[in-house]
Structure 1
Amino acid sequence: MKVISTEKSQILAARIATALNTTMVDVKFSRFPDGELYLEAGELDDETVIVGSVTESDALVQLLLLIDACEGSQNHLVLPYMGYARQDKRFRDGEPISARAIARLFKNGVEDCITVNIHEPSVLKYFPVPATNISLAGDMGACIGTMGLSNPLILAPDDGALAFAQGVAAAGGWDCDHLEKTRLSGIEVKMAPKKLCAASRPVVIVDDIISTGGTIATAAKMLYQQGATDVYAGCVHGVLIGGAYVHLKASGIRDVFCSDTIERGCSRLSAAVSIAAALRS
């Protein structure tokens, strides 16, 4: 078994190879003058782990080219981050079910697929091959455990993310709650933990994805007003668009961290060991 990856996932792929005690396939990437992508894979094995996050259109095309280049091998696809997964249903007439459209692209060339904290697990049913979703809740909890926080409160930004936050909190035996939004007037909204008090303790807001960071930034300011000593923000997938990292820091958040499903400067926990374990199972 060897591991091969797209350009945007090469660090995570190398860590997966280390966790599997195997080697990487060398790949040359380039682009034609008209903008088309090109790649050339090195020597393959009979069994290959293909790693590629779908972060934008070029990453998707590169992943499809890589799968085709690995023809003849038994291929296991790892989608650390699957873009378009949040469009899991048709909300208005005429809309595509984008998650289904992406999943259907992997009909040929792969035996199975592993996703990581996919936003909506029901998307797995759209894959034409067996698909398994794994969670990094425990890994994030272990990461928080190294931060030296005393009696942290783990907060989900809403009740939909509560199950993930509970998994994070379980790793350290910490308190867990979710933020509840209360509209005070037509223009004023209050956000606070639903049941527990944030006063005089550090708070870590955790979620599967941070995109713009707007909700978390607003929540951080209010948590400080409620007496939180420090506020941190952690996620699995650090999309962080539109200056989100700076926006979060400017709101008073002491630290922002994510995993390497999307490789960022603040990727402080790795999905590699959990992915390797799923591949072995």
Structure 2
Amino acid sequence: MTDLKIFSGNANLKLSKAIADYLGVGLGKIALGAFPDGETSCKIEEDIRGRDVYLIQPTCPPANETLMQLLVMIDSCKRASAERVTTVIPYFGYARQDRKDEGRVPITAKLVANIITRAGADRVLAMDLHAAQIQGFFDVPVDHLYAAPVLNEHFLKMNIPSEDLVIASPDEGSIKRALGHAKRLGGAVAIVDKRRTSAENTTQENVIGGPVDGKIVLMFDDMISTAGSICGAAKVLRQRGAREIHVACTHAVLCGPAVERLTAANLNSIVCTDSIPLTPDQLLPQTKVLSIAPLLGEAIKRIHRNESISRLFH
């Protein structure tokens, strides 16, 4: 691993250090800051000529700032003659607009993919993209990781009997995810019927599938943003008699009224990964944060050694 270099942006230093510790290498020396007018400044403070470089930076809020910092880091490495630059993006922001569902709107996910590619990224390592087709927006190889093994391992330790367990999908778009978790954890599958009334508001009225009365319900989603969908689904499941409700997601964005909604939802537990750093006011008493550092570290090691990534999920 001597020709491997890992650098971190400022978005999630704790995760970057954990990944470096897993790999047994130190984080590379980099000076990141801002000029007096707010422009991003960057300097790589060690030799990376001919090295295999990995830049760890989730483009989480503030998205514009973290994205710009990633782009400047990529350019710095390319101009310092790095052999290969891989961007490790645990959370890929700007992923919601992945298609034109109405007139005169952008496909921002494609735009950001183009910018990262043109900046000089040779490869992208991402986790639980909001839509799988975003992989095709990049003109460089993309390794797409899933946090499902990490989340499943947590719930397997709870030893919930299969006959008491229901895996609920908070909307129709997450059915495939729910089926995948049910295959590993067991239990029945239920779907909450969600109707979107606006960009910010949704309504949930019906539960399709296995009965939830007296059951322990697990709900999985790729991200919790304003928590409207997940809390609306939890309310319906409570009305249908669910005994316990546990919510899990990969990316805890938790913006706007999310914390207030999750507090009012009276969930038994909220499980997320450390792809996005949480502030103290975002950490509720029932929140459990799982580390994805070993998974990302192992993926980086396999990319560096030209080994299979898909074997991590078999």
Query: TM over 0.5, yes or no?
Result: yes
State the AA in 1 paired with 2:205: K
Shift of 1:174: 3.6
**Residue among 269, 286, 290 paired with 1:269:** 290
Q: Distance in 2 between matches of 1:44 and 1:109?
A: 18
Cα–Cα, structure 1 residues 175 and 278, in superposed 2: closer, same or farther, change >3 Å?
Answer: farther
TM-score, with structure 1 as normaliser: 0.89
Tell me what 2:174 maps to. 161
Q: Distance in 2 between matches of 1:76 and 1:180?
A: 40
Contact 2:194 2:203 in 1 (8 A): no
Cα–Cα, structure 1 residues 208 and 11, in superposed 2: closer, same or farther, change >3 Å?
Answer: same
Tell me what 1:109 maps to. 120
Q: Distance in 2 between matches of 1:12 and 1:124?
A: 23
Shift of 1:44: 4.8
Secondary structure of 1:23 counterpart:
coil
| 2:116 is the counterpart of 1:95 | no
Contact 1:139 1:269 in 2 (8 A): yes
State the AA in 1 paired with 2:214: S
Cα–Cα, structure 1 residues 57 and 174, in superposed 2: closer, same or farther, change >3 Å?
Answer: same
**Residue among 3, 8, 19 paired with 2:6:** 3
Deviations 1:181-211 (A, max 9, x none): 589xxx985232x211111122121100111
Shift of 1:41: 2.9
Tell me what 1:69 maps to. 76
Give the length in aligned residue pairs: 277
TM-score, with structure 2 as normaliser: 0.81
Deviations 1:219-248 (A, max 9, x none): 212212221112121111111111302311
Q: Distance in 1 between matches of 2:206 and 2:29?
A: 49
State the AA in 1 paired with 2:292: A
State the AA in 1 paired with 2:297: A
Q: Which runs of 5+ in 1 are unaligned?
A: none
Contact 1:206 1:234 in 2 (8 A): yes
Secondary structure of 1:35 counterpart:
coil
**Residue among 118, 122, 129 paired with 2:140:** 129
Cα–Cα, structure 1 residues 253 and 75, in superposed 2: closer, same or farther, change >3 Å?
Answer: same
Cα–Cα, structure 1 residues 221 and 26, in superposed 2: closer, same or farther, change >3 Å?
Answer: same
Q: Distance in 1 between matches of 2:55 and 2:34?
A: 20
Contact 2:170 2:194 in 1 (8 A): no
| 2:54 is the counterpart of 1:49 | yes
Question: What is the root-mean-square deviation of aligned Cα atoms in Å?
Answer: 2.3
Cα–Cα, structure 1 residues 78 and 231, in superposed 2: closer, same or farther, change >3 Å?
Answer: same
Q: Distance in 2 between matches of 1:44 and 1:199?
A: 61
Shift of 1:112: 0.8
**Residue among 190, 193, 216 paired with 1:177:** 190
Q: Distance in 1 between matches of 2:225 and 2:203?
A: 23
Tell me what 1:17 maps to. 20
Contact 2:165 2:186 in 1 (8 A): no
